[in-house]
Amino acid sequence: MSFELTRTLLDGIRSDVAEGRDSAVQEVLKELHPADIAQVIDRLDQEDAVYVFRLLDSEESAEVLLNLDEDRREELLASLTSREIAEDVLEHIDSDDAADVMSELSEEKQREVIALLDDQEQREDLEELLSYQEGTAGALMAKELVKVRTDWTVARAIVEMRRQAQEVDHVYTIYVVDKDDQLYGVLPLKQLLFSAESTRTLIKHICDDEIVSVKADTDVEEVVKLMKKYDVVVLPVVDDRDHLIGRITFDDVMDVMTEEATEDYQLASGISEDVDATDSPLVQVRARLPWLLIGLAGGILSSQIIAQYEEELQIDPKMAFFMPLIAATAGNVGVQSSAIVVQGLAAGTLDGVNLLARLWKELRVAVISASVCGILIYLVNLALQQSQALSYTVSIALFTVILTAAMFGTLIPLLLERLKVDPAVATGPFVTTLNDITGLLTYFTVGHFMYDMFL
């Protein structure tokens, strides 16, 4: 199976829709995986998207809905009645996905939809899932799972598993709980293959009791770390008394990883909020302009600082030549230092490393880079036959600026982390701007002394 979204396919569907050939559209979509249908619907304009979506049968449309772009999903959800959401969507999807869909509705609509659900257990599950705070394991987990008890025989377990499996779409793991419903272990598929022969064996004796689990209020970042570290496909979630209350599957974690990576990358690039190429220009401006304004404010501040040194510029206008070099290098060094810290914090390699040790290491890196850059630029200025005062100023300032930018770049994300702000902010325009300004201040201060000395 392989699918490529082509212009021909899209145009075909558009013209079928325009001329009301419903069955032709259904014919084409029937062959596709829900994730592929979602890709098609993402590309249609809103009116066509709603129309095509309504041509799908309800089981399929629920799956398609889950795979749509967030904006498109919101649009389609808005076009559905509470009854349609309850009966055609929520009935056909897992509880974690159902909670995701619900969280995109207004509180009032949520209440309406929940009231329309037939199954009381489903209602309760959904209300429970919606009660967890966003960003916790509880908000990410699904309630559907297959579990057997330690004191059951294999024979009984098999009967129970069959019964439970009817309710669960994908069975990845079979959990084992004790008689108080506390998580005890897992029954690996491999054990299950071998166990049919010994139907009287107790589950306790064939299950694996080394199991990683999380609490409902565990942070999702921690969940990702654990799943990566211990290579588990599904992570069980327990309550405060170790009762098994849900499971988190790898696909949810992949989504979280993608979101986190995107967010870090966007912050580093000076984009707030989750925008992408498909968003409207105005949405993009809203996510991008604030960072530009920070840069602008920094630029204005820079201009005021330089104005203080107008005298130096009049003595030697050539001082201006190297302002961009100083500012850019300060910015680049700061971003590098911050990025190393941000990554270390994310990967946990900085856990337990003390601040001074981190700064000392960064200082050594900076001294090497600063020496190389300082000497190089001195040689360049020698070749360009610049004045001694200017050559010394540029080299000394560059050396100093690299050291200070590295220290700022290291300290700021660590400080932000303590203040519970995402340290990735540090790699964005904010710190670049700060380092630009510090760089220029250093440059003119050094220049002031040098010109006093040489002139």
Q: Which C-beta is closer to its own copies: that of 300 or that of 455?
A: 300
Structure tokens at 359: 């700064």
Q: Is 150 in the site for its own copies (CB under 8 A)?
A: no
Q: Which of residues 374-393 bind its own copies (CB under 8 A)?
A: 376-377, 380
Phi, psi dihedrals of residue 21, rounded to the nearest 5°: -85, 70
318 versus 448: smaller Cβ distance to its own copies: 318
Q: Which is nearer to its own copies, 115 or 159 (CB)?
A: 159
Residue 241 interacting with its own copies (CB under 8 A):
no
Q: Interface with its own copies includes 211 (CB under 8 A)?
A: yes
Under 8 Å CB-to-CB from 444, ≥6 apart: which residues? Answer: 305, 306, 308, 309, 312, 319
Is 275 a binding residue for its own copies by CB under 8 A? The answer is: yes
**Least Å distance between CB 81 and its own copies?**
28
Q: For the chain, how many residues are written?
A: 455
Given candidates 24, 28, 55, 168, which one binds its own copies under the rule CB under 8 A? 168
DSSP helix/strand/coil, 278: coil
- Residues 6 or more apart whose CB falls under 8 angstroms from that of 314 comprise none
Map the footprint of its own copies across residues 296-355, applying CB under 8 A.
Answer: 296, 298-300, 302-304, 306-307, 310, 313-314, 317-329, 331-333, 335-336, 338-344, 347, 349-353
Q: Which residues of 404-441 are buried (b: 16+ CB within 10 A; e: fewer)?
A: bbbbbbbbbbbebbeeeeebbbbbbbbbbbbbbbbbbb
Task: Identify the H or E element spanning 184.
Answer: strand 183-187
Least separation, in Å, of the C-beta of 202 and its own copies?
19
Which tokens go with 429?
A: 């325009």
Identified binder of its own copies from the candidate list 74, 255, 273, 452, rule CB under 8 A: 255
Q: At residue 215, what are phi and psi to the nearest 5 degrees?
A: -85, 160
Q: Cα 451 from chain centroid?
A: 50
For residue 24, state whether it binds its own copies (rule: CB under 8 A): no
Measured from the CB of residue 285, what is the shortest distance to its own copies in angstroms?
5
Tell me the HSE value of 410 on the side-chain side, using a 13 A CA sphere: 19
| Contact between 28 and 59 (Cβ < 8 Å) | no
Smallest gap from residue 295 Cβ to its own copies (A) = 5
Q: Does 257 bind its own copies (CB under 8 A)?
A: yes
CB of residue 54 vs its own copies: minimum separation in angstroms? 23
For residue 275, the cross-strand partners are none
Among 119, 265, 449, 453, binds its own copies (CB under 8 A): 265
Quick one: which segment of 18-26, 121-129, 169-177, 240-248 binds its own copies (CB under 8 A)? 169-177
Binding residues among 395-424 for its own copies as defined by CB under 8 A: 402
Least distance in Å: CB of 116 to its own copies? 27
Question: Using the rule CB under 8 A, is 432 a contact of its own copies?
Answer: yes
Nearer to its own copies, 110 or 433 (CB): 433
Does 359 help bind its own copies (rule: CB under 8 A)?
A: no
Helices (H), 247-354: 250-268, 281-308, 310-315, 323-347
Determine which residue in the list 37, 186, 235, 253 makes contact with its own copies, applying CB under 8 A.
Answer: 253
Q: Cα(281)–Cα(145) distance, rounded to whole angstroms?
A: 44
- Are the CB atoms for 442 and 323 separated by under 8 Å? no
Binder among 110, 213, 438, 442 for its own copies (CB under 8 A): 213
Q: Can residue 8 be called a binding residue for its own copies (CB under 8 A)?
A: no
Cβ 231 vs Cβ 251: under 8 Å: no
Where in 107-126 is the site for its own copies (CB under 8 A)? none
Among 427, 434, 438, 451, binds its own copies (CB under 8 A): 427
- Contact flag: residue 266 with its own copies (CB under 8 A): yes
293 touches its own copies by CB under 8 A: yes
Q: Cβ 346 to its own copies, closest distance in Å?
A: 9
The smaller minimum CB distance to its own copies, of residues 110 and 432, is found at: 432
- Gyration radius from the chain CA atoms: 30
CA angle 7, 12, 36 (to 5 degrees): 65
Identified binder of its own copies from the candidate list 142, 161, 414, 425, rule CB under 8 A: 161
The residue whose two tokens read 């700021």 is: 412
Number of other residues whose CB lies within 10 A of the CB of residue 27: 11
Is residue 247 within 8 Å of 217, Cβ to Cβ?
no
Q: Which amino acid makes up residue 40? A: V
Measured between alpha carbons, how far is 187 from 283 in angstroms, rounded to an integer? 48
Would you count residue 356 as binding its own copies (CB under 8 A)?
Answer: no
- Minimum distance of its own copies from residue 111's CB (angstroms): 30
Residue 271 lies near its own copies (rule: CB under 8 A): yes
How many residues interact with its own copies (rule CB under 8 A)?
A: 126
Kind of pairing, strands 183-187 and 214-215?
Answer: unpaired
Question: Scanning residues 43 to 82, which ones bind its own copies (CB under 8 A)?
Answer: 43, 67, 69
